[in-house]
Structure 1
Amino acid sequence: MPLAVYILGLSVFALGTSEFMLSGLLPPIADDMDVTIPQAGLLISAFAIGMVVGAPLLAVATLRLPRKATLTALISVFGLGQVAGALAPNYEVLFASRVVSALACAGFWALGAAVAIAMVPLNSRARAMAVMIGGLSIANVLGVPLGAFLGDHFGWRAAFWAVGIASAIALVGVLTLIPRIPLPEERPVLRRELAIYRDRQVWLSVAITALAAGGVFAAFSYLSPLLTDVAGLDEGWVPTVLGLFGLGALIGTTVGGRIADGRLFGVLLSGITASTLFLAALALFASSAVLTVSLAFLLGFSAFYTAPALNARMFNVAGAAPTLAGATTTAAFNLGNTGGPWLGGTVIDLDFGYAATAWAGAGMLVVALGLVAISLRLHTASSRVVASSGPKEPGAPAEAPAAPLPESSTAAGAASAAERPQRQAPAAPAEV
């Protein structure tokens, strides 16, 4: 595996740490900025909004730009965004820095994945993506708890400075180790790719992904005050519990990625159901420190166990649009990362308490389960039509054979094209 791929993984570590670390920093940020915790939670939504807008926009805008120069510019802007956050004199500047950082993050994801794939042979694409997505998993295991630790001992701004330093290291790596990647000879046709949005299965996948992510983040975003104010744990426990969530996420990604190819809808149904039950248990037993800590690990596992299937489903139904498939999945995840914290903050503002955020998240997941059932029914009906279709009329174009794709153990793993026989899905990446 080229060293440059690991540099991209390091970059993703910085990106992922910045995206998720605020879950352990909300109380000190709220105190310092003189805002409520729900208002501080909107900083998580701000990053997610930037990802929603930036993923498809920058995926298209950078198609014809030099890959290495664009990566350099994006990681530079991201790093400067962390510095701006660390120096932010007020809430408004901090909010703006999160949006700018997210735009750069989304662009780096869209382009970095394509560069990683371009640097390795065809039979090593899944391994290359595993390294990149591994950076995100490690961010949840180490980066987020470290951010909480720094915030607890040196102030929340120290966490932003730390991510800024990691971004600078990544920048040096990009400049020195990423080779010049030639642009593809066949340029994507934007009009043809936009046609995927006429497919109702694409919109179902967007809604399912957004609800599945939002349901988890409605509670996870406020896990820190829930642990201290409801479960009665000391603030020093917050990094440990966040680390357990990340460890569960790492294990869940590995397990879900291994079985999603053959049992995609089974993973969706079982994973979302498990997350729903864990959130309900968290709402009921939030005052028990032991159960809350255990449920944080289990919730990390179930949420990321589902992620590979969520990614794969989008690539299956939008396989004709490799440029926008990954960007659409990224946008869908971050729609959830926007809506979840907003809903959780609304519940808190209505004086239902921090534990009620878990009920709100469970409600979102119940809706997601209903949409999965609808998608499965449509998929089954479509498969029967394809299987029973007779010979094509003379002169009609032949369908491409549906060959299975390489199995990936990452959240960006592509599922078997047999799930959608009329369309072969490329092994393209997407963020979690």
Structure 2
Amino acid sequence: MPLALFALTLSAFAIGTTEFVIVGLIPTIAGDLGVTLPSAGLLVSLYALSVAIGAPLLTALTGRVPRKTLLIALMALFTIGNLVAWRAPSYESLVVARILTGLAHGVFFSVGSIIATTLVPKEKSASAIATMFSGMTVAFVAGIPLGTFIGQHFGWRATFLVVALFGFVAMLGALLFMPNNLPHKRPAPLAQQARVIVHPRLLLVYAMTAVGYGGSLIAFTFMAPILEQITGFTPSQVSMVLVAYGVSVAAGNVWGGKLADAQGPVKALKRIFLLLAAVLLVFTFTSHNAWLAVLTMLAWGAVAFGNVPGLQVYVVKQAQQFAPQATDVASGFNIAAFNLGVAGGSSLGGAIVAHLGLGHTPWIAAVVTLLAFGLTAWSGSLDRRAGLAERTAEAVAVTH
């Protein structure tokens, strides 16, 4: 692995840890700062909102900044945000800290996805993105349990201090190992960049991302209560199952990247979405048996995150064709789509639990994932038509 790619992966690990670790600290934060649990829960929602807004908007505004300089600045902002959280005297200041780190998160993954593809041969671009995103999966497996442990034993503030140290090390990695001459196209005017919001072919990819990534969240958001109330696991057993799930996610991320490299993003995504829908449907029935539930969850983890590299590579390829001077911004909107999928999937899951019950979330998640398969097949069909039309036009030009 190139050292520059390792620096990106380390940054992704730090960012992934700070995004998710707060879930395990919400009760402690609520008690310490004297706020309600719903108010503490807003620290998660506001972070996701900052990512969704910051990813496309700040990516466009920083389009002229050299890529290495931008990466260093983003990790500096991330580190400062976590230091503010460490010393936050009030709930309001902690909200500010979460917004700062969320803004850094959005731009980092927008720009980092593009940079990762420039560090390896073109045929390995999806694997490079998968490697960078593996930092997020490692955070899920190791960083989040570690951060929760630190918070429970040394106070929630200590967790943010440790994450700030991760961010500082990642910033040094970018400073030392990232090439100074990273490829960087001159950005188009902001008005022209804004067209990526409404371009039909890019909107289709954003929809694929939001629906395909968010569909799984319908059930995963309520995985702990499903495993406790339906499967019959204890809370400590649920924690062990989720760690195993995280390991499977990490493997699936790498597998998904290699599949997208070998078969192209559309074909890989169609297979992944079909597999994911099948696993979710099966889990509807296996969730009633402990061993079968664990085996199904391992399969779920292997495909649940496998779509990320393909989706990110695909949006970059489409942007290079339809908005070549705004690829970073298109990547940013795709990062926003991931977060909108998380918000939408978890909200839909909550409504299903409230009106139908926990046991209905997996099969409905499967149906939504099949919708993502349909969107992907449609986009692939449009690609083939465009390619056929282009070849026909070239043939006509040659004959004349």
**Which of 325, 331, 335 is equivalent to 1:326?**
331
Distance 2:31 2:367 in 1: 30
AA aligned opposite 1:63:
G
The 10-residue stretch of structure 1 (319-328 or 148-157) with the greater mean CA deviation from structure 2 = 148-157
Q: How does 1:52-91 map to 2 (within 5 A)?
A: 52-85=52-85
Q: Gapped runs of 5+ residues in structure 2? A: none
Query: Displacement, 1:2?
Result: 5.3
1:237-386 correspondence runs (5 A): 237-261=237-261, 262=263, 264-320=265-321, 321=324, 322-348=327-353, 350=354, 352-386=356-390
With over 3 angstroms needed to count, the CA separation of the structure-2 counterparts of 1:255 and 1:172, relative to structure 1, is: closer
Distance change (3 Å), C-alpha of 1:356 and 1:246:
same
Cα distance in structure 1, aligned partners of 2:97 and 2:16:
16
Kept in 2: contact 1:23–1:222 (CA 8 A): no
Distance 1:2 1:194, change over 3 A: same
The answer to whether the Cα contact below 8 Å between 2:221 and 2:346 also exists between their aligned partners in 1 is: yes
Q: What SS does the aligned partner of 1:389 have?
A: helix
2-structure distance, mates of 1:299, 1:392: 49
Q: Deviations over 1:374-400 (max 9, x none)?
A: 323333433333343354559x9xxxx
Q: More helix per residue: 1 or 2? A: 2
Task: Report the CA distance between 1:101 and its aligned residue.
Answer: 1.4
Mark the CA change 1:336 to 1:81 in structure 2 (over 3 Å): closer, same or farther. same
Equivalent in the alignment of 1:14? 14
Pick which of 208-217 and 55-64 moved more. Answer: 55-64
SS in 2 for 1:63: coil
TM-score, scaled to structure 2: 0.80
| In structure 2, C-alpha distance between the alignment counterparts of 1:153 and 1:235, rounded to whole Å | 19
Using a 3 Å threshold, how does the CA distance of structure 1 residues 99 and 357 change in structure 2: closer, same or farther? Answer: farther
Q: Over aligned residues, Cα RMSD in angstroms?
A: 3.7
Q: What is residue 165 of structure 2 aligned with on the other side? A: 165
Percent sequence identity is: 34
- Spell out, residue by residue over 1:53-84, the C-alpha distance to the aligned partner (whole angstroms, 9 max, x if none): 11112222222235454333322322333344
Cα deviations across residues 278-299 of structure 1 (Å, max 9, x unaligned)?
A: 3334344444433333333222
Structure 1 residues 30 and 46: CA distance shift in structure 2, 3 A: same
CA shift, 1:216, in A, is: 1.6
Contact 1:45–1:339 under 8 Å retained in 2: no
* Letter aligned with residue 47 of structure 1: Y
Change (3 A) 1:192 1:137: same
Conserved in 1, the CA contact under 8 Å of 2:319 and 2:330?
yes
Change (3 A) 1:116 1:199: closer
Which one-letter code corresponds to 1:181 in the other structure?
N
In the superposition, relative to structure 1, how do residues 112 and 366 fare at CA in structure 2: closer, same or farther (>3 Å)?
A: closer
TM-aligned CA deviation for residue 11 of structure 1 = 1.4
- The DSSP-based 3-state class of the residue aligned with 2:306 is helix
2:305 aligned counterpart, secondary structure: helix
Give the Cα separation in 1 of the matches to 2:361 and 2:161: 30
Structure 1 regions of 5+ residues with no counterpart? 397-432
What is the SS of the residue equivalent to 2:328? helix
- Cα gap change, 1:287 to 1:201, in 2 (>3 Å): same
Question: TM-score by structure 1 length?
Answer: 0.75
**Greater CA drift, 327-336 or 25-34:** 25-34
- Looking at structure 2, the residues matched to 123 and 385 of structure 1 have their Cα atoms a distance apart, in angstroms, of 25
Per-residue Cα deviation, 1:309-331 (whole angstroms, up to 9, x for no partner): 22232223221433223223212
Whether contact under 8 Å (2:150, 2:156) holds in the other structure is yes
Shift of 1:275: 1.9
Query: 1:213: how far off?
Result: 1.0
Aligned counterparts of 1:311 and 1:129: Cα–Cα separation in 2: 8
Partners of 1:69 and 1:341 in 2: how far apart?
36
Aligned equivalents of 1:103 and 1:13: distance in 2? 16
Number of aligned positions between the proteins: 392
Deviates more, 1:378-387 or 1:210-219: 378-387
Instruction: State whether structure 2 residue 234 is matched by structure 1 residue 234.
Output: yes
Native 8 Å contact 1:319 1:325 kept in 2: no
Greater Cα shift, 237-246 or 191-200: 191-200
- Residues 134-165 of structure 1: CA deviation (Å, up to 9, x unaligned): 32232233223434544566665554443233
C-alpha separation between the residues in 1 aligned to 2:268 and 2:178?
38
**Aligned letter for 1:188?**
P
Give the match's secondary structure for 1:72. Answer: helix
Rate the CA distance shift 1:192–1:163 in 2: closer, same or farther, 3 A. Answer: same
